[in-house]
Amino acid sequence: MRTKFSGILTLLLVLVVQLTFAQQKTITGTVTDDTGLPLPGANVIIKGTSSGTQSDFDGNYTISANVGQTLTFSYVGFDTKEVKVGAQNSINITLMPGASLEEVVVTGYSTRNQTVQTSAVVSISASELSQMAPTTSIDNMLQGKAAGVQVTAANGKPGQGAFVRIRGTGSLTAGASSPLYIVDGSPIREQDLANIPNEDIENITILKDAATTARYGSRGANGVVVITTKNGNRNKDAVIRFSSRYGVSSMIDPNYTMMNASQKLQYEAEMYALGVTGAATLPGVTTQPGSPERQQLLDREVDWRDIILKDGIVQNNSVAISGGAEKVDYYFSVSNDRNTGIIDNIDGFERLGTRLNVNFDAKEWLSVGVNVGYSRSMSDEPRDRNNTQNPFRGILDYNAYETEFLLDDEGNTVIDDNGNPVYNPTHTGFPIRGALLSEPSEDIDNQTIGSVDAVVTFSKNWSYGFNVAVNWGATRRESYSKPGGILDVILEGADNPTGNKFDDQQHRLDLTVSNRLVYNLNKNNHNLNVLGLYEYNMNEFNRLFVRSKGFPSALLTTQTNASTLDNGFTNRSRLTLVSYGAFADYDYQEKYLLSASVRRDGSSNFGTDVRYGTFYSGSLGWNIAKEDFFSVDAVNDFKIRAAYGTVGNRTGISRYASQGTVGFDSYPGGSSTIPTRVANPELQWETTETYNIGLELNMFNKRVRLVSDYFIRNTTDLLFPIPTTYESGVGSIDGNLGEIQNKGLEISLQADVFRSPDFTWTLGGNIIFLDTEIVELPDGEDITPEDAFNIRFKEGQKINEHFLVRYAGVDPATGRGLFYGADGNVYTADKLPTDENDNRVFQGKSTIADKEGGFFSNITYKGFGLRTDFVFKAGNWINNFVRSDRESDGLAIEDNQSTNAFNYWQQPGDTNVLPSPIYSTEDATVMGNSDRWLEKGDYIRMRNVTLSYSFPSKYLDKTPISSLRIYAQGQNLLTFTKFWGDPEVGLSSGETISFANAVAPGEATLYSYPNTKSIQFGLDVSF
Task: Read off the pLDDT of residues 887-945 as tens digits, 9 standing for 90 and up.
Answer: 999 999 999 999 999 999 999 999 999 999 999 999 999 999 999 999 999 999 999 99
Asked whether the predicted pLDDT for residue 36 surpasses 80, the reply is no
Burial (Cβ within 10 Å: 0-12, 13-18, ≥19) of residue 416: exposed
- Tell me, what amino acid is at 22? A
pLDDT of res. 598 = 95
How many whole angstroms from its chain centre is CA 907? 49
Alpha carbon distance 262, 277 (integer Å): 20
Between the alpha carbon of residue 923 and those of residues 27, 150, 818, 915, the distances in Å are 76, 38, 10, 10
Sign of the Cα pseudo-torsion (256, 262, 265, 267, in order)? negative
Rounded to the nearest 10 degrees, what angle do helices 292-299 and 261-273 cross at? 140
Alpha carbon distance 965, 522 (integer Å): 41
pLDDT of res. 10 = 44
Sign of the Cα pseudo-torsion (772, 775, 777, 780, in order)? positive
Containing H/E element for 297? helix 292-299
Residue closest to 190 by CA, chosen among 144, 123, 140: 140
pLDDT of res. 653 = 84
Alpha carbon distance 870, 765 (integer Å): 9
Q: Strand (E) positions, 162-219?
A: 162-166, 180-183, 186-188, 201-207
Task: Read off the pLDDT of residues 768-826 as tens digits, 9 standing for 90 and up.
Answer: 999 999 999 988 889 898 889 999 999 999 999 999 999 999 999 999 999 999 999 99
pLDDT of res. 728 = 60
Residue closest to 872 by CA, chosen among 225, 147, 163, 252: 147
Asked whether 129 and 204 are in contact (CB, 8 A), the reply is: yes
Between the alpha carbon of residue 180 and those of residues 217, 227, 535, 822, the distances in Å are 11, 11, 16, 42
Could you say which DSSP state residue 389 is in? Answer: T
Average per-residue pLDDT for the chain? 90
488 phi, psi to nearest 5 deg? -65, -40
pLDDT of res. 729 = 63
pLDDT of res. 259 = 98
Sequence-ordered list of residues with C-beta below 8 angstroms from that of 513, at least 6 positions apart, any chain: 4, 5, 8, 467, 468, 535, 536, 537
Predicted confidence band of residue 677 (pLDDT cuts 50, 70, 90):
confident
Task: Read off the pLDDT of residues 260-298 as tens digits, 9 standing for 90 and up.
Answer: 999 999 999 999 999 999 999 999 999 999 999 999 999
- Tell me, what amino acid is at 310? K
Asked whether the predicted pLDDT for residue 385 surpasses 70, the reply is yes
3-state secondary structure of 412: coil
Residue closest to 650 by CA, chosen among 737, 577, 740, 571: 577
Sign of the Cα pseudo-torsion (921, 923, 924, 927, in order)? negative
pLDDT of res. 424 = 95
Mean per-residue pLDDT for 576-596?
94
Residue closest to 794 by CA, chosen among 778, 817, 816, 818: 778
Calculate what percentage of the chain has a pLDDT beyond 70. 95
Task: Read off the pLDDT of residues 604-660 as tens digits, 9 standing for 90 and up.
Answer: 999 889 999 999 999 999 999 999 899 898 999 999 999 999 998 888 888 888 888
Q: Is residue 29, in this structure, part of any structural domain at all? A: no
Residue closest to 720 by CA, chosen among 657, 631, 633: 657
Asked whether 205 and 249 are in contact (CB, 8 A), the reply is: no
Burial (Cβ within 10 Å: 0-12, 13-18, ≥19) of residue 758: exposed
Q: Which domain holds residue 276?
A: 261-300
Could you say which DSSP state residue 420 is in? Answer: P
Q: Give the angle subtended at the CA of 120 by the CAs of 119 and 126, to the nearest 5°.
A: 115
Number of domains in the chain: 1
Task: Read off the pLDDT of residues 953-991 as tens digits, 9 standing for 90 and up.
Answer: 888 988 999 999 999 999 999 999 999 999 999 988 888
Q: Give the angle subtended at the CA of 416 by the CAs of 438 and 347, to the nearest 5°.
A: 25
More confident residue, 356 or 122: 356
Between the alpha carbon of residue 980 and those of residues 884, 898, 935, 1013, the distances in Å are 11, 11, 8, 18
Asked whether 34 and 758 are in contact (CB, 8 A), the reply is: no
Q: Is residue 284, in this structure, part of any structural domain at all? A: yes
Mean per-residue pLDDT for 419-427?
94
Q: Is residue 567, in this structure, part of any structural domain at all? A: no
- Tell me, what amino acid is at 647? V
What does the DSSP assignment read for 305-357? Answer: HHHHB--EEEEEEEEEEEEEETTEEEEEEEEEEEE--SBTTS--EEEEEEEEE
3-state secondary structure of 849: coil
Q: Is residue 273, in this structure, part of any structural domain at all? A: yes
Asked whether 258 and 264 are in contact (CB, 8 A), the reply is: no
pLDDT of res. 114 = 76
Predicted confidence band of residue 248 (pLDDT cuts 50, 70, 90):
very high
Asked whether 935 and 18 are in contact (CB, 8 A), the reply is: no
Task: Read off the pLDDT of residues 105-149 as tens digits, 9 standing for 90 and up.
Answer: 776 677 777 778 888 888 888 778 777 767 778 888 888 888 999
Residue closest to 46 by CA, chosen among 63, 29, 23: 63
Containing H/E element for 452? strand 441-457
What's the number of CA atoms in the CB half-sphere (13 Å) around residue 659? 9
Task: Read off the pLDDT of residues 721-767 as tens digits, 9 standing for 90 and up.
Answer: 776 666 666 667 888 888 999 999 999 999 999 988 889 999 999 99
Sign of the Cα pseudo-torsion (277, 282, 287, 288, in order)? negative
Between the alpha carbon of residue 163 and those of residues 149, 150, 179, 186, 704, the distances in Å are 10, 8, 10, 20, 32
Task: Read off the pLDDT of residues 896-905 as tens digits, 9 standing for 90 and up.
Answer: 999 999 999 9
- Tell me, what amino acid is at 152? T
Mean per-residue pLDDT for 996-1000?
86
Q: Is residue 283, in this structure, part of any structural domain at all? A: yes
Q: Is residue 864, in this structure, part of any structural domain at all? A: no
Asked whether 868 and 970 are in contact (CB, 8 A), the reply is: no
Alpha carbon distance 789, 828 (integer Å): 23
Asked whether 414 and 408 are in contact (CB, 8 A), the reply is: yes
Sign of the Cα pseudo-torsion (556, 558, 563, 567, in order)? positive
pLDDT of res. 49 = 73
3-state secondary structure of 683: coil
Task: Read off the pLDDT of residues 67-96 as tens digits, 9 standing for 90 and up.
Answer: 888 898 888 667 788 888 888 888 999 887
Alpha carbon distance 893, 903 (integer Å): 15
Mean per-residue pLDDT for 50-77?
82
Task: Read off the pLDDT of residues 532-557 as tens digits, 9 standing for 90 and up.
Answer: 999 999 999 999 999 999 999 999 99
pLDDT of res. 96 = 77
Q: Regarding beta strands 93-94 and 24-32, do their DSSP bridges make them parallel or antiparallel, or are they unpaired?
A: parallel
Predicted confidence band of residue 23 (pLDDT cuts 50, 70, 90):
low
Asked whether the predicted pLDDT for residue 719 surpasses 50, the reply is yes
Residue closest to 198 by CA, chosen among 169, 227, 235, 239: 227
Predicted confidence band of residue 14 (pLDDT cuts 50, 70, 90):
very low
pLDDT of res. 41 = 79
Between the alpha carbon of residue 473 and those of residues 179, 335, 505, 540, 935, the distances in Å are 20, 19, 11, 11, 40
pLDDT of res. 725 = 64
More confident residue, 333 or 234: 333
First and final C-alpha spacing in the chain: 48
Q: Is residue 268, in this structure, part of any structural domain at all? A: yes
Task: Read off the pLDDT of residues 452-475 as tens digits, 9 standing for 90 and up.
Answer: 999 999 999 999 999 999 999 999
Alpha carbon distance 373, 892 (integer Å): 51
Q: Give the angle subtended at the CA of 101 by the CAs of 96 and 102, to the nearest 5°.
A: 145
pLDDT of res. 4 = 44
pLDDT of res. 108 = 62
Predicted confidence band of residue 98 (pLDDT cuts 50, 70, 90):
low
Residue closest to 169 by CA, chosen among 598, 649, 641, 723: 649
Predicted confidence band of residue 99 (pLDDT cuts 50, 70, 90):
very low
Asked whether 398 and 426 are in contact (CB, 8 A), the reply is: yes
Alpha carbon distance 457, 620 (integer Å): 29
pLDDT of res. 2 = 44
3-state secondary structure of 132: coil
Q: Is residue 277, in this structure, part of any structural domain at all? A: yes
Q: Give the angle subtended at the CA of 253 by the CAs of 248 and 256, to the nearest 5°.
A: 170
3-state secondary structure of 551: coil
Residue closest to 747 by CA, chosen among 801, 802, 694: 694
